[in-house]
Amino acid sequence: MAKATEVDTTSSRNQDDAASKESKPKVSHLDEASEPTQATPTSKEPEKKKRKRENGNTNTESWDPAHCGQLIKLSNDDTTMETFIVNPEDWSCVMASTSVETFSVQFNTLGQRDNGDIWIGYCKQDGFVPNGSTRGRFCQILPPGRESVPGDETSHAFAPGDTLTVVHKRANGTIVFLKNDQDIGVEYENVSDEDRFPAVVTNRDGVSISFV
């Protein structure tokens, strides 16, 4: 299996899920503990139980206002996050309120195509930085028509309306990503059996993402 090239955003390469407020955009948010590999695609979606909220929303997850960047607004019972007036020179991050083994999000809007990046996946709670460079196991969200970043196997194209499902398979130490219930071939191996939280890391304005 081919391995992606890792770009370190911290002063030390060997830090697990570390966060750095000094990091600048245009870099990867991967940690070094395991590199992603190309997995064999599968169409099977993990079973996911949902509960009904007071407003009729059946999402089981929500974004945590206590772990939310100052340029991110939460709405719809904290199930939707939206960036506003984002400075492309700084990262804005939001983390879910609970650790889960699988979650799904839908892209409402992806902001300006060539203005900043979007990363979605898992981070450890102590690796989260609301207004800095949160590190973890992420997939870079590319605009429609752009299938990959040269030399980077952690990216994939999405369009508004698409869903991304992320699964932490703790029993075999992997994290996998699915687009519209189809495996996109990005898999992290040798992932430690620790609690990890859904997270979004972005420096792009006009991004809106909801748990589904």
Q: What is the mean pLDDT of residues 21-39?
A: 46
Gap between the Cα atoms of 197 and 187, Å rounded: 17
Domains, the chain? 58-211 (2.60.120.920)
Q: Cα 118 vs. chain centroid, distance in angstroms?
A: 8
What is residue 206's DSSP assignment?
T
Residues 124 and 17: beta-carbon distance below 8 Å: yes
Task: Give the burial class of 38: count Cβ atoms within 10 A of its Cβ; 0-12 exposed, 13-18 middle, 19 or more buried.
Answer: middle
Look at the block and give the residue holding tokens 């081919």.
2
Q: Is 147's pLDDT higher than 70?
A: no
pLDDT confidence of residue 30: 61
List pLDDT tens digits, range 154-191.
899 999 999 999 999 999 999 999 999 999 988 999 99
Phi, psi for 147 (deg, rounded to 5): -80, -25
Q: Quick one: pLDDT at residue 148? A: 63
Q: What is the mean pLDDT of residues 36-53?
A: 43
